[in-house]
Amino acid sequence: MKAENCFFELVPKVVPADRETIIEIRSLFDHVHFTSERQYEVTYYPVEEISHHSSWPEQHRKRLKVVDGILRMSQYFEGEQEHVLSVEEIWGKNRRSVGEFRLYSAQPDLFGRKPYKGDIHMHSYRSDGRESPGYVAGCCRRIGLDFMALTDHRKYKPSLEAQQAYAGISTDLRIYPGEEVHPPNNPVHIINFGGSFSVNDLFEDKDRYQAEVDQIDQQLGPLPAGVNRYQYASCCWSFDKIRQGVGLGVFCHPYWFTGNRYSPSGALTSHLLETQPFDAYELLSGYDRQEVDSNTLQVARYYEERAKGNEMPIVGVSDAHGCETGSLFGWYYTIVFSTTLEHSNLITSIKDLFSVAVESIPGESVRVYGPFRLVKYALFLLREILPQQDTLCLEEGRLMLAHVAGDSSAAKLLGNLSGRTAERLANLWASSE
């Protein structure tokens, strides 16, 4: 975490584009206290372009006055971009850098949304994971996630078990239902995020399932060479059922290399991407370090499809099979830019292309994938705002795990922390008025 963000507080840090906004820099500790006995100068740098409407020439220095220990200034922030305020302290002939403070100006459609981190593809010991559903949920908050879904193979009930583990407890982590759907005799893996019923359970009525898939098949017409008609029709059926349950249907890890080949076949993957019966594409999947080729291909394919005019909603997921294994969990996730954390708003925001996939492998630089505008914004947030959110979430996550371990005092302590992350985000956004 940057020293400027440890020792000072810049508010707001997200402001409306093309509008004048008053900002404040507050020192948080005595060793960086602003004093009226010294002078302070700020040099303003719009990161992408010089501000034409601010009447502030490039690299012009402005003197700021200390009022009640706070540096305050009013500035017109032009366009959707990052802005740097380089502050120096002056006494006599001496000059010392206080720090570089950064904020972001966003257009109305983005300014009105908050960034929410989530993972909607992971497993518990109810299928092939290691830990209990409640434990997985607590770990998700511990690493800074705002929402999650447990998606065990062929099982919906474990996700409800994760919810039940915190029933009646004040926690700011949104725990949504989910499952990994495996249609019979179909290599395609599908995530049902947030659906109100289990799609896997519907496969138990084999005759009805087959009849409905056959009906879809009859309506398809000719398919490209190499595309298995049943498999494609089965995918369409599965995604339709997920939507009937008001869930988000995700096409999972299309370049998973297993059994000496990619699964599903290249022809089926290409047809799914072209026709998009799914709601979202798993851009980053839970591949380990030795499987980097698979994510690389999924990213490359996404950008190739976009270049052809084929826009796709995207997510990033860990597909973790354990939270304490030292791999995958927390490595890949989604940032959704949404008006709220409600299930319906998250899904709508993803479908409306307001999400990015994040790769955060330990020891490596964070990488973000998705629409350029959102990637640019997400990099700012991951550097300037979200690390502090993670710190707040860490304490909550530890208490959630204490609760499921039987600590009777944890629930009350969690209640005392409720709303902190939402309040902090609200304070960092300027008024829209």
Q: Could you tell me the pLDDT band of residue 432, with boundaries at 50, 70 and 90? A: confident
Question: What share of the chain in percent tops pLDDT 90?
Answer: 93
User: At 157, which CATH number?
Assistant: 3.20.20.140
pLDDT at 12 over 80: yes
pLDDT at 433 over 90: no
pLDDT at 167 over 90: yes
pLDDT at 141 over 90: yes
Question: What share of the chain in percent tops pLDDT 70?
Answer: 98
Residue 433 domain flag: no
Q: Rg of the chain over CA atoms, in angstroms?
A: 24
* Contacting residues for 308 by C-beta, under 8 A, at least 6 apart: none
Residue 426 domain flag: no
| Domain extent for 337 | 114-417
Q: Are residues 57 and 155 both part of a single domain?
A: no
Alpha carbon distances (Å) from 64 to 14, 71, 89, 421 = 21, 6, 10, 31
pLDDT at 326 over 80: yes
* Residue after which a domain boundary falls, among 83, 109, 135: 109
Q: What is the pLDDT of residue 235?
A: 98
* Contacting residues for 119 by C-beta, under 8 A, at least 6 apart: 140, 145, 148, 149, 317, 318, 320, 332, 333, 334
**CA angle at residue 263 from 248 to 224, to 5 degrees?**
85
* Residue after which a domain boundary falls, among 85, 109, 133: 109
Q: Are residues 66 and 120 both part of a single domain?
A: no
Q: Are 86 and 97 in contact (CB under 8 A)?
A: yes
Q: What is the DSSP-derived secondary structure letter of residue 331? A: T
Q: Are residues 36 and 102 both part of a single domain?
A: yes
Residue 423 domain flag: no
Q: Are residues 101 and 171 both part of a single domain?
A: no
Q: Could you tell me the pLDDT band of residue 56, with boundaries at 50, 70 and 90? A: low
Q: Are residues 174 and 263 both part of a single domain?
A: yes
Q: What is the pLDDT of residue 185?
A: 97
Q: Are residues 103 and 124 both part of a single domain?
A: no
* Contacting residues for 166 by C-beta, under 8 A, at least 6 apart: 134, 137, 173, 175, 400, 403, 404
Nearest to 352 by CA among 367, 368, 336: 336
Number of domains present in the structure of the chain: 2
Q: Are residues 79 and 154 both part of a single domain?
A: no
Q: What is the pLDDT of residue 58?
A: 59
- The model carries a pTM of 0.97
- Peptide linkage before 12 cis (omega within 30 of 0): yes
Distance, in Å, from the CA atom of 250 to the CA atom of 255, rounded to the nearest integer, reads: 14
Q: Are residues 105 and 185 both part of a single domain?
A: no
pLDDT 10s digits, 369-411: 999 999 999 999 999 999 999 999 999 999 999 999 999 999 9
Q: Are 403 and 169 in contact (CB under 8 A)?
A: yes
Residue 348 domain flag: yes
* Contacting residues for 239 by C-beta, under 8 A, at least 6 apart: 190, 249, 277, 278, 279
User: At 57, which CATH number?
Assistant: 2.20.130.20
Distance, in Å, from the CA atom of 88 to the CA atom of 315, rounded to the nearest integer, reads: 41
What mean pLDDT, rounded, does the chain reach? Answer: 96
